[in-house]
Amino acid sequence: MRIFKVILCFHFLLIASLSASNESIRLLIKTAKGSENPAVRTALLKGMLKGLEGQTNIEAPEGWKELNAQLMKSEVKEHKSLARQIGQIFGDEDASAKAIEILKTKNANLDDRKESLKSLVAQKNQDLSALLPSLLKDKDLQINAIRAYGKIPNANSEELLLNYRDFKDQAKKAVIETLSTREDLAQKLLVALKNQVITTSEIPAYTARALKSILGEEFTKIYGKTQKQSDSKKEIMAKYSALLDLPEASEADPKLGRKVFKNVCGTCHQMYGEGGILGPDLTGSNRANREYILLNIIDPNFDVPDGYKMIILKTKNNRVLAGTIAEEDEQKVVLNSVTGKEIVLKNEIQDRQKLAISMMPEGILETISKKEFYALIKYLQTEEQTELP
C-alpha cells in the first residue's frame, strides 16, 4: 500500500506538464510497464490520459508500443479501454478503428460505446461524422452525439435541424447549445429562427447572450433584447468562479458532492435517475460549463423556462399550493410540489397565479462549506454516477 501511495503521488506531480516529448511521460510508461499491480497500472494510465487531455495525433513516445501490447493482453478490461484512448492520442489508427467498431455495435457494452464516442470526439476523428446521424436515433448516446456536431469539423450540422422537431426537450436544448458554440453553426441557427424551425422561446437567455456576442444585431433583430444580469449577481459569480481556480477545487471529492447534492438539491432535481421532480432533470444539462452551473445556482430567477415558473393555487377550501405544472387538462391541474404531486380539480380552484420566478431559492451556496461547494461542483460536472461516501 505504501508503494502504491508513493507511485500515485509521483504520477500526480508529473501529469501537470505532460507531453509526448518530455521525460515525464516516458517515465510514466516505464513505471507502468514495470508494475505488476493492476490498480497502480490503472492509476498511472488514467494520469497519463488526463495529462494528455486535449492533445491530438502526437507521436508515440518511447516504450508505448511495448506497454500497449501488454495492456491489450491484460485481464483487466479497463486497461484495454485506457490503452485505446491513449493510443488514439498517439495517432494509432488501429485504436481509432476499434473505437469506431465498438460504437457501431449496438449490443456492445454501453460504457464502452460512451468511452469510444468520447475519445473519438476528443481526437476530432473525421470518420465519426458518418456515424453521427445514426447515433441521433440512439437514446443512450443521443445527447452526446448532438454535442459532437460542435466538435467534429466535417459533421453536417443540418442533420440536427432536420431532426429537431422529433427531439425531446433535453435534446432540443442540446441542439441549441451546440449551435451556439461556433459562428458558422450560429449562422445556421439564425436561419432556423427565421424559418421558425426553432422558436425564440426555446432559446434560454443564457444561450441568447452567447448568440448575441457571436451574431450581434442580426440576432437581436429576431430574438429581441437579452436580459442583463445584475452587477451584484455578477460579483457573486466572479467570487465563486475564482474559488474554482484554486488548487483545492481540483482535489474535491465527487462522492461527497453526491451527498451534498442529495441534501441540498435532490429534493427538487434529479441526476442519474435519483431526486425530486419539482425542478428540471439535470442529467442531460450543460453541466460541463462552469458559468452555466454557477448562473443557475446563484441567480435561479435570471432565466426561468415557462414550465418551471412558480404557480400558486388557492382552493375554495383555503388550501394554498405552490409548485410547477406537471399536467393539465379540462378537468384538473397536476402540480409538482416539494412534497410530491398534487391533483387539484379545476372546479375547486378559487385563485391561480403564475409568478415570474422559479421555486429554487437564492443563497444556496452560502449554506454550505467551501469544501462542500468544491465537491458539489465536481459532482455536477461528472459524466456518470459516482458512489456515495
Q: What is the pLDDT of residues 261-307, one digit of tens each?
A: 998 898 789 999 998 888 888 988 788 888 889 999 999 888 788 88
pLDDT band, residue 5 (cuts 50/70/90): very low
Q: pTM higher than 0.75 for the full model?
A: no
pLDDT band at 1 (very low <50, low <70, confident <90, very high): very low
Give the start-end residues of each E strand in the chain: 270-271, 274-275, 309-315, 320-328, 332-337, 340-345, 349-358
> To 10 degrees, the CA torsion angle through 265, 269, 270, 271?
-50
Binned at pLDDT 50, 70 and 90, residue 18 comes out as low
Q: What is the mean pLDDT of residues 18-36?
A: 76
Confidence of residue 35 (pLDDT cuts 50, 70, 90): confident
Coil/strand/helix, residue 335: strand
Model pLDDT, residue 132: 97
Strand partners, 344: 333
CA 79-83-88 angle, 5° bins: 155
Question: Using only C-alpha atoms, what is the Rg of the chain?
Answer: 24
Would you list the domain boundaries of the chain? 231-300+362-380, 306-349
Q: What is the residue whose three cell numbers read 491489450?
A: 72
Least trusted range by pLDDT, from 50-54, 147-151, 311-315, 371-375: 50-54
- Phi first, then psi, for residue 340 (nearest 5°) are 130, -160
The mean pLDDT of 152-170, rounded to a whole number, is 92
Residues 6 or more apart in contact with residue 309 via CB below 8 angstroms: 324, 354, 355, 356, 357, 358
Identify the pLDDT of residue 9: 46
Third-level CATH fold of 306-349: SH3 type barrels. (2.30.30)
Q: What percent of the chain has pLDDT over 70?
A: 92
H or E segment to which residue 330 belongs:
none
CA distance 170 to 265: 19
331/380: higher pLDDT: 380
Q: Lowest-confidence range among 6-15, 294-303, 329-338?
A: 6-15
Residue 157: Cβ within 10 Å count: 20
The predicted-structure confidence for 53-97, as pLDDT tens digits, reads as follows 777 778 888 889 999 899 999 989 899 989 999 999 888 888 899
pLDDT of 46-65, one tens digit each? 888 877 777 777 888 888 99
Mean pLDDT of 23-40: 85
Please, is 229 exposed, middle or buried when counting C-beta atoms within 10 Å of its C-beta (0-12, 13-18, 19+)?
A: middle
pLDDT of 226 strictly over 90: no
